Amino acid sequence: MKADLAVCYGQERLPRYTSYPTAPNFSDTIGPDTYAQWLRAMPQHATASLYLHVPFCRTMCWYCGCHTTVAKRDEPIAVYEAALRCEIELISRQIERRMKVDHVHFGGGTPTIMAPESFTELIGAIRQSFFVLPSAEIAIEIDPRSLSSRMIDALALGGVNRASLGVQSFDPVVQYAINRVQSFEETATAADNLRRAGVRALNFDLIYGLPHQTIASCLDTVRRCIELRPERFAVFGYAHVPSFKKYQRKIDESRLPDSVERYDQACAIANALKEAGYIQIGLDHFALPSDKMAIAYREGRLHRNFQGYTTDESTVLLGFGASAIGHLPQGYVQNEVPIGAYSDAIATGRLATAKGYAMTEDDVLRSEIIERIMCDFGVDIDAVCARHGKGADAMLRSAPRLEQLVSDGVVELEGSSLKVADKSRFLVRSVAAAFDAHLDQSQRLHSRAV
């Protein structure tokens, strides 16, 4: 039955729903002036999360779907870091107060490509413009292959308390096929040194559906990762969209697993992690029971944003850097994607906003429904609609895709209470998509559902 569902729904291209509406719906009608207005109208007691995008790597991994570029020299990185500090000041000036911050996330690219001194200056600029709460989570994405001891010291000094290490696969055949050769020893050394320096909360990122990947190679990678006992795993299905990411054209499509094989790999990884004591959280995360993400999941407090599943409860996400996306109560904003265009905007003293989306009442309602489905595998539609002064019947009538999902046993619907069937949780994106009023305009831009 599961294999049949994987075949039936697996080829459909759907968002990962790290936002709603999703980024393909953003338009250039939202620009710097609109963003400035939204910042000035920020609720007085709101807290914020900060996301800082560092779009540089030393080499390009061919599976990568991120906005990043190869930097062989350090100078462009230093210039970009200076632009980030200027943008931080620009945005804080619009807010006109030292806003409280409870989450900071450095994403990439490879954020640790910065010189340790530059990273220290950047953290200093954040703390000067914002009040980073003592309890704040400060997280960074790391490539273990290039992590120096000096950078580890800078991370610890800057208060970083969580690190995400890219692993993907330890199978050398897969590694050569994706241009990311990384030994287990390099990964273990990075993990040990980070913990020794005080950065004790570790996440490992794995990918299934890569060229030449098999269930056996997936399980071997998981087994070796479990030896290092990270607090969390993120397990993503490879999204092959070579028409949008040119480096993916270097991957031999004939070596990619089909939907059923991808499903089998995902199940094998999930089962191995659960047997090792990890709790499965949402679509693609796993955490030790004592981790605060597992606790938030048990208590129904899990959320989802552009970093994936999160314990972050802030209603404001401020994005810094080229291509970075922010979320305010009024809607979404995204910076210029090209590094040059972003830097030029900041250099002239203006916000680098290139596009965005102003949320409607219907968007806010659907966003909450979709988030709960993605986080909890179910939602009380009547309760959510009531909070927004709407009726559940109208919402259900506006979701014609739901009927087929119920008929196929993917969804259980009792009145207005929706639950994704346990055997069909791998299709949670398909269920969330039933409430996406914008899907037809953006479907071709997304990855396969399985």
The residue among 140, 123, 132, 125 whose CA lies nearest residue 102 is 132
396 and 313 in a common domain: no
277: in domain: yes
Domain boundary among 270, 300, 320: 320
- Asked if residue 394 and residue 313 are part of one domain, the reply reads no
| Tens-digit pLDDT string for the chain (450 aa) | 455 776 677 667 788 899 999 999 999 999 999 999 999 999 888 999 999 999 999 999 988 888 899 999 999 999 999 999 999 999 999 998 899 999 999 999 999 999 999 999 999 999 999 999 999 999 999 999 999 999 999 999 999 999 999 999 999 999 999 999 999 999 999 999 999 999 999 999 999 999 999 999 999 999 999 999 999 999 999 988 887 788 888 999 999 999 889 989 999 999 999 999 999 999 899 999 999 999 999 999 999 998 889 999 898 999 999 999 999 999 999 999 999 999 999 999 999 999 999 999 999 999 999 999 999 999 999 999 999 999 999 999 999 889 999 999 999 999 999 999 998 898 999 999 999 999 875 545 455 555
**330 is a domain residue:** no
pLDDT of residue 3: 52
Same domain, 314 and 183: yes
* Cβ atoms within 10 Å, residue 409: 12
| Amino acid letter, 169 | S
Q: Is the domain of 176 the same as that of 100? A: yes
Same-domain check for residues 305 and 429? no
CATH code, domain with 307? 3.80.30.20
Nearest to 42 by CA among 84, 95, 5, 4: 95
Q: Does 331 reside within a domain?
A: no
Cβ atoms of 351 and 91 closer than 8 Å: yes
**328 lies in a domain?**
no
Does residue 118 sit within a domain?
A: yes
56 shares its domain with 167: yes
Residues 9 and 107 in one domain: no
Q: What is the DSSP letter of 278?
A: P
Q: Any idea what the CATH number is for the domain that residue 383 is in?
A: 1.10.10.920
Q: Report yes or no on 312 lying in a domain.
A: yes
Q: What is the pTM of this model?
A: 0.93
As a whole number of angstroms, the distance between CA 30 and CA 356 comes to: 5
In a domain, 383, yes or no: yes
Q: Is residue 354 part of a domain?
A: no
In angstroms, how far is the first alpha carbon of the chain from the final one?
A: 15
Domain end point (choices 320, 346, 369): 320
Element (H, E) at 406: helix 401-407
Give how many domains the chain has, as a whole number: 2
Residues 6 and 27 in one domain: no
Query: What are 317's strand-pairing partners?
Result: 49, 327
Q: Please, what's the b/e burial string for 318-351 (b: 16 or more CB within 10 A of its CB; e: otherwise)?
A: bbbbbbbbbbbebbbbbbbeebeebbebbeeeeb
User: Are 296 and 174 found together in one domain?
Assistant: yes
The pLDDT value recorded for residue 96 is 84
CB-side exposure of 237: number of CA atoms within 13 Å? 33
Are residues 125 and 260 both part of a single domain? yes
Are 150 and 278 part of one and the same domain?
yes
Domain extent, residue 373, equals: 1-13+360-450
Domain boundary among 257, 291, 320: 320
Indicate whether 56 and 178 sit together in one domain: yes
pLDDT of residue 436: 95
